[in-house]
A and B are shown apart, each in its own frame.
Chain A
Amino acid sequence: MSLSAQDIERIAHLARIRVSPDEVAQVQAKLEGIFKLIDDMQSVNTQGVEPMSHGLDMVLRLRDDAVTEVNQREKFQSNAPAAADGYFLVPKVIE
């Protein structure tokens, strides 16, 4: 599989990671190497195989719909890059 510079820019945008124009070629080369490794698995015929995500095939539990957390807003917001009056501050998103 080959990735174009446009592919890298598209993925980087989807991932919300800035890749500067002079980094694109290097990222492209490294990712191509990794996809060469990954593409080894494409040759395996897996028709009819049930995909697995948990070795013991456990089923997710349900829990009671009850309040279990206490309000710790100040504690949590002490890690925020910018917060005021109980709000997280971000650039304006609604005109």
Chain B
Amino acid sequence: MSWNTFATVAETKKALDAKQVSAVELAKHYLSRVSSINPALNAFITIDPEKTLSEALAQDNRRAKGEAAPLLGVPIAHKDIYLIDGWRTTCGSKMLENFVAPYSSTVVKNMADAGMVTLGKLNMDEFAMGSSNETSYFGTVKNPWDLSRVPGGSSGGSAASVAAGLTPASTGTDTGGSIRQPAMFCNLTGLKPTYGVCSRYGIIAFASSLDQAGPFAQTAEDCALLLSAMAGFDPHDATSLDRPKEDYSRDLSKPLKGLRIGLPKEFFGDGVAPGIAKAVDEALDVYRKLGATTVEVSLPNVKYSVPAYYVVAPAEASSNLSRFDGARFGHRAKDYTDIVDMYKRSRAEGFGAEVKRRILIGTYVLSHGYYDAYYLQAGKLRRLIAEDFKKAYEVCDVVMGPTAPEGAFQFGAKSDDPVKMYLNDIFTICANLTGQPAMSHPCGVDKDTGQFVGMHIIGNYLDEARMLNVAHQYQLATEWHKKHPAL
């Protein structure tokens, strides 16, 4: 069988539905591609061909019995933060090096119900804390476009695997930009839905009020298909939105005439690399040609996103990660004197430096006497930032700007300076703080560095279908998303 490894999800679905290819054949194709290409990239932490092939066979049997499902037989790889019953699930940490998940996350279940076949578990920054995939206990992931550069993070394996044609699509999670920034760095389309659209049940928690699951793919059309499968109300997640299932593909073909694009002046300042600003400007010209109008808006409080985030995210992480105590699961130190020493040594050995730093920050800001000055103040800033956006939506339908202020950087360029690393997420974090949907799509190259540029689209709550329509119309008119690395 010959198969175009860069076929989109939509094309793969079509070929499967036309019985030109089976789920088993596709699983074999991608598994063999993973075994030849992955050693150079380190995008996967775990593969289990036996499990994958038996899932594929089960999906082929569903088809043989005349069952219909939207993505019957389409392969998917999951970020190693998603629990899958019987699969090792590490979260990129030594703490969970040998942890075998005892149940499956709702998103994984939903995708399996839709017919998708799991190819494996993808590398990531440890506990999703990082913007370059350099904090993984299982080693860095290489950017398939340039092996000396980072793929972005924290969903680095999710981005690298799709960009390299090791899977047609992947899942990621986005707490401060962890889908959108790697999507930009690897020239992909990635979407973080409105908070509450995808269930967090069975996704290892980082910052519970910010975490959202979302898809990576080559196109917005694919992201719409994937999100339709992933999303849905789940009683197991207390913050899951109780609302009917949506077909996120429904508006893809709508023309953009009349679309009002808001351009926050705060997203086009001095911090943005000139080559990125230029690529974004050119992409906005394409949008104008498609019938959209642009209007300047202002988000005066958005500059407090990074400080507010580095209170909220570590605070919630310090609480969530207290469950890793070496008692019930996870790493336990060999030598200790008593139970407190066991906790301390197990956690010191099991967590990497960045995770420990964030737990310490979170512990401090939540400690006696500091709550009002930090967590409460950050919560109030979230409200002010959300109100800025509310005002902006009085004159625009979506907000656009660059996804990140600079493109894929070299390994080691920021890993010694956490603050420098954090500032790479300066444009993405606001959407997590407010809970709005946001996505990144390929829109060109920074001519000074040769690195890809992502267009960041932030939308109003539950406006995913419109955002996907916007990105899809852009992709019908452009070719950036059709570029593939030579591997």
B325 at the interface (CB under 8 A from A): yes
Q: Are B238 and A61 in contact (CB under 8 A)?
A: yes
Q: Which of B240-264 contact A (CB under 8 A)?
A: 241-242
Chain B neighbourhood of A71, CB < 8 A: none
A16 touches which one: B102, B338, B340 (CB < 8 A)?
B340
Cα–Cα distance between A41 and B239 once the two chains are bound (Å): 27
Nearest CB in chain B: distance from A71 CB, A: 12
Query: Per-position contact with B for A7-22: 1 when CB-CB < 8 Å, else 0?
Result: 1100111111111100
A33, A41, A56, A92 — most chain B CB neighbours (10 Å): A41
The answer to whether A15 touches B306, judged by C-beta atoms less than 8 angstroms apart, is no
A46 and B381 in contact, given A12-B360, A17-B351 (Cβ under 8 angstroms)? yes
| Contact yes or no, B342 A17, CB < 8 A | no
Contact of B380 among A12, A36, A50, A81 (CB under 8 A): A50
A19 to chain B: which residues have CB within 8 Å? 348, 356
Q: Is B363 an interface residue (CB 8 A)?
A: yes
Please measure, in the bound complex, the distance between the C-alpha atom of A44 and the C-alpha atom of B346, giving whole angstroms: 40
Residues in B neighbouring A76, C-beta threshold 8 A: 102, 328-329
Q: Which of B23-31, B148-156, B157-165, B369-377 is the interface stretch?
A: B369-377
Stretch of B56-64, B123-131, B172-180, B307-315 on the interface side: B307-315
Report the nearest B residue to A43, measured CB to CB: B304
Q: With the chains together, A72 CA to B101 CA distance in Å?
A: 13
The answer to whether the Cβ of B70 comes within 8 Å of any Cβ in the partner chain is no
B339 contacts the other chain (CB 8 A): yes
B327 touches A88 (CB 8 A): yes
Interface residues in B349-406 (C-beta closer than 8 Å to A): 351, 356-357, 359-361, 363-365, 367, 373-374, 376-384, 386
Chain B positions within 8 Å of A81 at CB level: 326-327, 329-332
Q: Return chain A residues, CB-CB under 8 Å to B100.
A: 78-79
Given contacts A81-B330, A88-B327, contact A52 B386 (CB under 8 A): yes
Q: A58-B241, A90-B339 are in contact. Are A44 and B351 (CB under 8 A)?
A: no
- List residues 428-464 of chain B with CB under 8 A from any CB of chain A: 434-436, 461
B418 contacts partner chain A, Cβ-Cβ < 8 Å: yes
Q: Does B409 contact A (CB under 8 A)?
A: no
Chain B residues within CB distance 8 Å of chain A: 98-100, 102, 194-196, 209, 235, 238-239, 241-242, 301, 304, 306-308, 310-311, 318, 322, 325-332, 336, 338-345, 347-348, 351, 356-357, 359-361, 363-365, 367, 373-374, 376-384, 386, 417-419, 422, 434-436, 461
- If A34-B418, A81-B332 are given as contacts, then 4 extra A-B residue pairs at C-beta distance below 8 Å, sorted by A number, are A44-B301, A44-B384, A50-B383, A51-B380
